[in-house]
């Protein structure tokens, strides 16, 4: 589900646009004094991109094409191909292929079968669901590489479970479940780099900047300890906060059993399709887990699987599935990659990183440098609505800072990943949290209290991990 740019009043939009234009004209003689002319134009392009992707009334796809045109018009690239370089990234096509493949899981009922297992716990009472739901959400990214698909899969079952327990429409149980499938769902995507578009992009950036070329299992070993630490702490906080803010329910009561419904496949053909898809998906995951991505590109298995599902005798995919892909987001990500590459290649990222050092006293230790970078990442993340574009643009600046200060690149690379991916203060910061917020089950206060605590925990744990655990993997 794409997030639409937030629309402001015409007068505010005009004021913001004029501010961007004024910055572009006066910054070269003030804030950007000392930058090369090409670097000044690049910073101006970056400011324009932030405006177009966040506050502009221009559609995201059209804004992205305009930015590509500006790269050419400002003479920041030597050719049209230079502006389009971001679209050759394998991460874009990995996201596209996995998104299309995830549609097959829904077509054959894998999502309904998985979600229905929650219903079998309803006779054990809501406590069993409260424990099982976050565990399920922490494991599902391995099989379902789409946070929004996971939300859509579980949302109707949460409604039915809430009804089976006899709770109100905005019960504590439902509020907590909405937090899990809305906010935690998005955060948990990072557990594997095939779990969604955001970690796929992060893995590609780590490889492109020659920081690390982690295998599927190595990624889990690096990210799991800090990520699961945050998720456990925030889940406990969310549950106790909701109980404190909204009172208690009779948690010992049992479900009525009326809502318990195990999804059954109607005929042999449906069963065969179900098991064929499930087995082939598991085989693909095992190939990722037990093969060297440098010998067997990680994009190859899903590409071949997409072709297999499209064969006439199988016909699980057709052209309508390709057309249904979010091409507007594809343009945004490709353009973000082009801008990120431009920042790195013409030295703008290094110059910004050098200026950042001026904000710290000389001789500060690694921990203070990491804390400073964490604050910069957070502030930058708050500007962008889409986390994927945020990480692509900020990544070269942070890595340049790592090279200047001597901080391990992997530490700062995963610091960017954790903070950008873990910041969900505003509902629009991720599709799933925005959708969950729009249901009005969680009040504004509920969302902002939980999301703010979650973001602070992500920043704190990421800083500690960057200074200790991740440094061991360099």
What angle (nearest 5°) sits at the alpha carbon of residue 88, between those of residues 87 and 91? 85
Q: Report pLDDT for 446.
A: 87
Q: DSSP letter string over 251-297?
A: TTPPP-STT-------SHHHHHHHHHHHHHHHHHHHHHHHS-TTTS-
Distances in Å between the Cα of 454 and the Cα atoms of 100, 238, 388 are 31, 9, 19
Threshold 0.85, pTM exceeds: no
- Nearest CA to 453 out of 245, 247, 217, 164 is that of 245
Which structure tokens are listed for 428? 């629009």
Separation between Cα atoms, residue 349 and residue 132, nearest integer Å:
44
Q: Tokens 């690049």 appear where? A: 42
Q: Report pLDDT for 71.
A: 92
Q: Over the range 64-92, which residues count as b (16 or more CB within 10 Å of their CB) and which as e? A: bebbbebbeeeebbeeeeebbbbbebebb
By CB atoms closer than 10 A (0-12, 13-18, 19+), residue 227 is: buried
Q: DSSP alpha helices (H): ranges in 324-443? A: 327-345, 348-357, 366-383, 387-405, 409-422, 431-438
Q: Report pLDDT for 307.
A: 93
Q: What is the pLDDT along the chain (474 residues), one digit of tens a residue?
A: 444 444 455 555 566 666 666 666 666 666 666 788 888 888 888 888 887 877 777 788 898 999 999 999 989 988 888 899 989 888 889 888 888 888 888 888 877 777 777 667 666 777 888 888 888 888 888 877 777 778 877 888 888 888 877 788 888 888 888 888 888 888 888 888 887 778 888 888 888 888 988 888 889 999 999 999 999 999 999 998 988 887 665 444 444 444 445 555 566 777 888 889 889 988 988 898 888 777 888 889 999 999 999 998 888 998 888 888 888 888 888 898 898 888 888 888 888 888 877 777 777 788 999 999 999 899 888 877 678 878 888 888 899 888 888 889 999 999 999 999 888 887 766 777 777 777 788 888 888 899 899 999 999 999 999 999 998 887
Torsion of CA 122, 127, 131, 134, to 10 degrees: 70
């Amino acid at each position: 589900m794409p997030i639409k740019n937030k629309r402001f009043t015409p007068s505010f939009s005009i004021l913001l646009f004029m501010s961007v234009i004024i910055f572009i004209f006066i910054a070269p003689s003030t804030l950007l004094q000392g930058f090369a002319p090409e670097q000044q134009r690049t910073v101006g392009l970056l400011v324009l991109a932030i405006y177009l992707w966040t506050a502009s009334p221009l559609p995201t796809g059209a804004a992205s094409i305009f930015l590509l045109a500006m790269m050419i018009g400002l003479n920041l690239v030597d050719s049209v191909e230079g502006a389009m370089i971001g679209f050759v990234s394998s991460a874009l096509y990995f996201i596209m292929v996995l998104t299309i493949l995830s549609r097959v899981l829904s077509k054959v009922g894998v999502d309904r079968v998985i979600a229905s297992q929650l219903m079998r716990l309803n006779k054990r009472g809501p406590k069993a669901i409260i424990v099982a739901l976050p565990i399920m959400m922490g494991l599902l990214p391995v099989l379902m590489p789409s946070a929004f698909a996971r939300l859509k899969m579980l949302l109707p079952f949460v409604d039915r479970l809430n009804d089976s327990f006899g709770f109100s429409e905005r019960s504590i149980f439902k509020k907590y479940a909405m937090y899990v499938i809305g906010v935690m769902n998005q955060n948990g995507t990072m557990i594997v780099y095939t779990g969604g578009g955001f970690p796929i992009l992060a893995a590609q950036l780590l490889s492109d900047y020659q920081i690390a070329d982690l295998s599927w299992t190595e990624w889990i070993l690096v990210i799991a300890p800090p990520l699961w630490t945050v998720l456990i702490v925030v889940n406990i906080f969310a549950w106790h906060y909701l109980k404190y803010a909204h009172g208690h329910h009779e948690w010992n009561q049992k479900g009525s059993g009326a809502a318990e419904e195990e999804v059954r496949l109607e005929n042999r053909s449906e069963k065969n399709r179900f098991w064929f898809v499930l087995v082939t998906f598991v085989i693909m995951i095992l190939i990722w887990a037990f093969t060297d991505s440098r010998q067997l590109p990680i994009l190859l298995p899903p590409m071949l699987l997409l072709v297999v599902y499209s064969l006439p005798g199988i016909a699980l995919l057709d052209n309508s599935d390709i057309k249904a892909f979010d091409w507007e987001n594809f343009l945004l990500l490709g353009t973000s990659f082009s801008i990120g590459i431009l920042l790195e290649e013409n030295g703008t990222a290094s110059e910004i990183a050098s200026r950042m050092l001026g904000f710290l006293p000389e001789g500060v230790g690694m921990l203070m440098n990491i804390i400073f970078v964490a604050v910069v990442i957070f502030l930058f993340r708050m500007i962008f609505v889409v986390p994927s574009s945020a990480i692509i643009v900020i990544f070269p600046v942070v890595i340049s800072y790592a090279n200047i200060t001597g901080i391990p690149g992997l530490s700062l690379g995963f610091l960017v990943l954790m903070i950008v991916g873990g910041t969900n203060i505003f509902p629009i910061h991720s599709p799933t949290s925005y959708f969950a917020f729009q249901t009005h089950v969680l009040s504004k206060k509920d969302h902002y209290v939980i999301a703010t605590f979650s973001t602070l925990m992500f920043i704190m744990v990421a800083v500690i991990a960057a200074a200790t655990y991740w440094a061991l993997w360099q």
